[in-house]
C-alpha cells in the first residue's frame, strides 16, 4: 500500500496517474478515486525525443502541478515506456496470463520527487507462429475490459491486435500490421497518387474496399492482387480520386478480417469486442459486420481501469 497525502482523520489516499508514453507522444491521465479520468496532459514529447536517462526529469516536471495539488502520485506506466527503447526494459509475461500473473511482473520505482512509478510488463504469446507474438500496453486495455467474460477482442492500430480472453486469462493474441500498411500506401504509393483526401471519411468508398477484400472468389488473389483494384476499379468502375484513400483503407482493413478468420479467430455469427474510439473504430465495426461478426464497442481508454485491476490483484492498490 502506497501512502500519499493523509486526509485529516481519513484513511490514507493516493492519487493515481496513468502514463501512456509512446514513441511519438506522451499522454498522462490523472485518475479520480474511482479510476476514471479526471484530468489530461498530452504532449508531443515521445520516447524517441528523450535522451536515455532523461525520462524521470521530463515526467517529474510534467506532473508537478498535480503533485502540488494532490501530494505524491502513484504513476502507472504501461506500454512502450517499458520497452528496450524506453525507461526500463520490462519482461514479456507469457500467455495464458491472468491479472495476478501480470501483477507479479510489475516493477515499482521510487522517484526523487516522492512519486512512485509502477511499470507494467508486456505480454508474449509463445505459441504464435512463426515467432512468439508480443504486445505492450494493450494488456492493460484488455484487463480494463475485464477478464471474467470469455470473448475475442480487436484493438485497431498501426499494429492491430486480436486477443482471446478465456477462463479469466488472456489466452492468446495475434498482431496484424494494418494501420501502418494503410498509412504507408496512402501517403507514398503510385497507386494512391491520384488520391484526393476528403475532409471526412467517404464511407461508401470504404465499403467498396471492404467488398473487394471480402469477395470470396479465390481467383481474385490475396491482398497484393486486390490492391490493384485501386487502378482497375478506377478504369472499370468509376472509382473517383476522392474515393481512393478510403477504398484502400477498406481493402486493407477488410483483409485483416479475412486473415483473422482464416487464422481461426472467428467464424461467421461470432461476437467480437472492438476496443477503440472515433472514426477508425466505426470502420472496424463496419468491417466486422461485413465479415458476419456481431461487434460491440468498448472505449480505448480502458488502460487506467486495467492497470488498477492488475494492482488490485496483487494487493498493491
Instruction: Quote the CA–CA distance of 118 and 167 in Å, as a whole number.
Output: 26
Tell which one of 89, 150, 184, 294 touches its own copies (CB under 8 A). 184
Triad 2, 69, 28: Cα angle to 5°: 70
Tell which one of 119, 255, 266, 284 touches its own copies (CB under 8 A). 255
Taking the complex as a whole, the smallest distance from the CB of residue 196 to its own copies amounts, in Å, to 16
Tell which one of 74, 141, 174, 249 touches its own copies (CB under 8 A). 174
Please give the size of the binding site for its own copies, defined by CB under 8 A.
55
Taking the least distance from each CB to its own copies, the nearer of 85 and 296 is: 85
Region from 8-16, 25-33, 56-64, 172-180 binding its own copies, contact rule CB under 8 A: 172-180
Cβ-contact 92, 134 below 8 angstroms: yes
**Under the criterion CB under 8 A, does residue 20 sit at the interface with its own copies?**
no
For the chain, how big is the Rg over CA atoms in Å? 22
Taking the complex as a whole, the smallest distance from the CB of residue 208 to its own copies amounts, in Å, to 10
Taking the least distance from each CB to its own copies, the nearer of 118 and 174 is: 174
Tell which one of 95, 181, 249, 291 touches its own copies (CB under 8 A). 181
E strand or H helix that includes residue 250:
helix 244-262
SS3 call for 134: strand
Taking the complex as a whole, the smallest distance from the CB of residue 218 to its own copies amounts, in Å, to 6
Strands of 37-43's sheet in order across: 37-43, 26-31, 15-21, 73-78, 116-119, 107-110
List the helix and strand counts (H, then E) for the chain: 11, 14
- Site track 212-251 with its own copies (rule: CB under 8 A), x = hit: x--x-xxxxxxxxxxxxx-xxx-xxx--------------
Tell which one of 258, 274, 275, 307 touches its own copies (CB under 8 A). 258
Triad 139, 66, 316: Cα angle to 5°: 40
Taking the complex as a whole, the smallest distance from the CB of residue 178 to its own copies amounts, in Å, to 6
Compute CA distances 298 → 36, 50, 278, whole Å.
15, 32, 11
For residue 176 the three cell numbers come to 496484424
Taking the least distance from each CB to its own copies, the nearer of 27 and 159 is: 159
Triad 246, 256, 265: Cα angle to 5°: 150
For residue 141 the three cell numbers come to 486495455
- 297 burial (CB, 10 Å; 0-12 / 13-18 / 19+) is middle
**Under the criterion CB under 8 A, does residue 190 sit at the interface with its own copies?**
yes
Tell which one of 58, 62, 100, 180 touches its own copies (CB under 8 A). 180
Tell which one of 91, 114, 132, 204 touches its own copies (CB under 8 A). 132
Instruction: Quote the CA–CA distance of 77 and 106 in Å, as a whole number.
Output: 10
Taking the least distance from each CB to its own copies, the nearer of 78 and 311 is: 78
Taking the least distance from each CB to its own copies, the nearer of 72 and 156 is: 156
Tell which one of 44, 52, 199, 262 touches its own copies (CB under 8 A). 262
For binding to its own copies (CB under 8 A), which residues are involved?
Answer: 23, 128-134, 158-159, 174-178, 180-181, 184-185, 187-191, 211-212, 215, 217-229, 231-233, 235-237, 252, 255-256, 258-260, 262-264
Amino acid at each position: 500500500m502506497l501512502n500519499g497525502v493523509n486526509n485529516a482523520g481519513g484513511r490514507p489516499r493516493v492519487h493515481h496517474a496513468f502514463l501512456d508514453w509512446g514513441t511519438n507522444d506522451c499522454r498522462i491521465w490523472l485518475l479520480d478515486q474511482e479510476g476514471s479520468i479526471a484530468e489530461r496532459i498530452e504532449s508531443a514529447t515521445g520516447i524517441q525525443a528523450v535522451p536515455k536517462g532523461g525520462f524521470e526529469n521530463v515526467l517529474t516536471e510534467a506532473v508537478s502541478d498535480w503533485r502540488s495539488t494532490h501530494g505524491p502520485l502513484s504513476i502507472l506506466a504501461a506500454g512502450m515506456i517499458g520497452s528496450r527503447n524506453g525507461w526500463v526494459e520490462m519482461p514479456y509475461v507469457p500467455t495464458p496470463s491472468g491479472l495476478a500473473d501480470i501483477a507479479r511482473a510489475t516493477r515499482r520505482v521510487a522517484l526523487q520527487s516522492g512519486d512512485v512509478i509502477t511499470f507494467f510488463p508486456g505480454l508474449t504469446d509463445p505459441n504464435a507462429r512463426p515467432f512468439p507474438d508480443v504486445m505492450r500496453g494493450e494488456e492493460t486495455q484488455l484487463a480494463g475490459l475485464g477478464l471474467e467474460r470469455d470473448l475475442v477482442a480487436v484493438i485497431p492500430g498501426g499494429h492491430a491486435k486480436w486477443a482471446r480472453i478465456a477462463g479469466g486469462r488472456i489466452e492468446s493474441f495475434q498482431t496484424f500490421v494494418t494501420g501502418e500498411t494503410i498509412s504507408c500506401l496512402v501517403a507514398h504509393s503510385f497507386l494512391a497518387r491520384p488520391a484526393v483526401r476528403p475532409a471526412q471519411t467517404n464511407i461508401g468508398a470504404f465499403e467498396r474496399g471492404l467488398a473487394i477484400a471480402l469477395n470470396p472468389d479465390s481467383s481474385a488473389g490475396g491482398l497484393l492482387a486486390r490492391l490493384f483494384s485501386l487502378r482497375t476499379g478506377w478504369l472499370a468502375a468509376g472509382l473517383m480520386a476522392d474515393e481512393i484513400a478510403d477504398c484502400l483503407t477498406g481493402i486493407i482493413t477488410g483483409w485483416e478480417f479475412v486473415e483473422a478468420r482464416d487464422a481461426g479467430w472467428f467464424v461467421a455469427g461470432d461476437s467480437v469486442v472492438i476496443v477503440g474510439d472515433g472514426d477508425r473504430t466505426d470502420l472496424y465495426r463496419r468491417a466486422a459486420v461485413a465479415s458476419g461478426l456481431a461487434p460491440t464497442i468498448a472505449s480505448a481508454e480502458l488502460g487506467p481501469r486495467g492497470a488498477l485491476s492488475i494492482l488490485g490483484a496483487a494487493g498493491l492498490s
